[in-house]
Amino acid sequence: MAWTPFNFFKYDPTKHDFDSTTFNIKQALNDNWDHVKALIEELRGKAVETEATPTAGSTKALTSGGAFTALTGKQNAPQTAELTMTAAGWSNGQYSLENQYPSEQYDIEIGPSSDATAEQMQAYSAALIPINPDANIVIAKGDVPAVDIPIAVKAVKK
């Protein structure tokens, strides 16, 4: 199917008298849904084509990103989430995010959330948290935070 513009039927109050017009299920619903289905099948076809023939110099285009990856070329687009590092969650100067983001599956970056208070920001800064490229475990090189800290996590699926 070649790309066609969205030609959905919609009753128009300037053209249709709602008091005398009989609702046409086929025209108003079924035909519109058939058009949506055809467009989705076309997009799926493009995704499969992209999977079969990745662009030069790229990795296989279809991974966990699905059709989004195939159509945008953005492989494994980053996901962001807000979490709370609890004061009680620290053990031996470490805070693990491996349960939520296993390092075999995700690369992550973290930082204090925009919702963090001044006290929470100071605790995060005093922890002297470096980047840990080997695991999704936060290491406090300074003071282990004694307060809960809201963090933003940017995760990219490997």
Say if residue 149 is in the same domain as residue 112.
yes
Helix or strand or coil: residue 105? coil
Tens of pLDDT, residues 121-136: 999 999 999 878 788 9
Say if residue 121 is in the same domain as residue 67.
no
How many angstroms from the chain centroid is the CA of residue 17?
A: 44
What is the pTM for the complete model shown? 0.53
Alpha carbons 80 and 108: distance in angstroms, whole number: 9
Encoded tokens for 79: 């996901």
Domain boundary among 29, 52, 75: 75
- Residue 109: which domain range? 79-157
If one counts every other C-beta atom within 10 angstroms of the C-beta of residue 115, the result is 11
Alpha carbons 111 and 13: distance in angstroms, whole number: 52
Strand 94-96, strand 137-139: pairing: antiparallel
Tens of pLDDT, residues 92-119: 999 999 999 999 998 899 999 999 999 9
Which segments of the chain have a pLDDT < 70? 1-6, 46-75
Say if residue 28 is in the same domain as residue 89.
no
Output the pLDDT for position 39: 78
